[in-house]
Amino acid sequence: MQAEQRIPDRRGRKARRTRDALAGAAFELVLDRGLREVTVEEIAERADLDRRTFSRYFAGKEDAVLDSVRGDGDRINDALRARPAGEPPLTAYRRAVQDWLRDPVVPAWHRRPRIYELLVLAEREPTLYAAFHHIRVGAQADSVAIVADRLGTDPLSDLRPAVTVAAGAGALLAAQAAWVRGDRPDELPQLVDRAFEALAGELLTGPAPPGVGAPHSTTSTTTEGNGTP
C-alpha cells in the first residue's frame, strides 16, 4: 500500500475512534442521568474532547446518544440485499429483519447492553423520539430503493416498493413499541414474528365468522359433551 493511501485510512480510523468516544460518553451519561440532565459540554469532557469537536460529529446530544443504533437499519438493509432474488418482497424484508435479530457477530437490540433502556427512554423523551424517527426514515428510504431494485422497477412510479417497506417497517415498529412498553427485554424476536404474522393473518383475510374455525386450522371442532365432530 502506498503512503498516500495509508494516511486517509489512518485519519478515518482516528475519526471513527473520536466519534465512538463521544457516542459512548453520551450513551452512558444520558442513560445514567437522563437526557435533560446532561449537557453537550459534559459529554465532550467525558470523552476527553472539546465542544467544537463534538459539533463536528453530531448535531446534538440526541444524535450522539442514538449513534449506537444508527447502524442497525444499515444491517437490515445489507441483509435485505443478500436475500434470494426469488423471494416475494415482504417475505424478503421479514427474513432480513430475522437475519439481523439472529446475527451472531453484531448483536441486535435485545442482546446489546442497555439498548432496551435507550429505547424505553426514547418513548418518554420527545426530542429523542424525533431523532430516532429521523434515523428510521433514512433507513426506510434505502429499503425502498433496495426493494425497487429487486423488482426491477422505478419507486417513483411504482408504489409496490414503498408499500412493502411501509408494511414491513410498520410491523417492526409495532413490535418495538410492544417490546419497550411490555417490560420483556428478551422477547423482541417473538414480538417481531407476531407482528409479521399479523400482516398475513386476520388483517388480510378478516376474522372468521362466529362458530367457524380459523383459516388453515389443523384442529376440528367437537360438540361439547360427546366428542363428536
Q: Tell me the three cell numbers of residue 76.
A: 437490515
Task: Name the pLDDT band for 88 (thresholds 50, 70, 90).
Answer: very high
Count of beta carbons in the 10 Å neighbourhood of residue 171 = 23
Give tens-digit pLDDT for 178-217: 999 988 889 999 999 999 999 887 666 666 555 544 444 3
Half-sphere exposure of 182 (CA within 13 A, CB side): 13
Q: Which three cell numbers stand for residue 61?
A: 446530544
Average pLDDT over residues 61-74: 95
Residue 148 sits at φ, ψ, to 5 deg, of -60, -40
pLDDT of 229: 39
Q: 50 near 43, Cβ under 8 Å?
A: no
Whole-angstrom Cα distance, residue 104 to residue 107?
Answer: 6
The model's pLDDT over 15-57, given as tens digits with 9 standing for 90+, comes to 999 999 999 999 999 999 999 999 999 999 999 999 999 999 9
Residue 160 has pLDDT above 50, yes or no: yes
Work out the pLDDT band at 74, boundaries 50, 70, 90. very high
Does pTM top 0.95 for this prediction? Answer: no
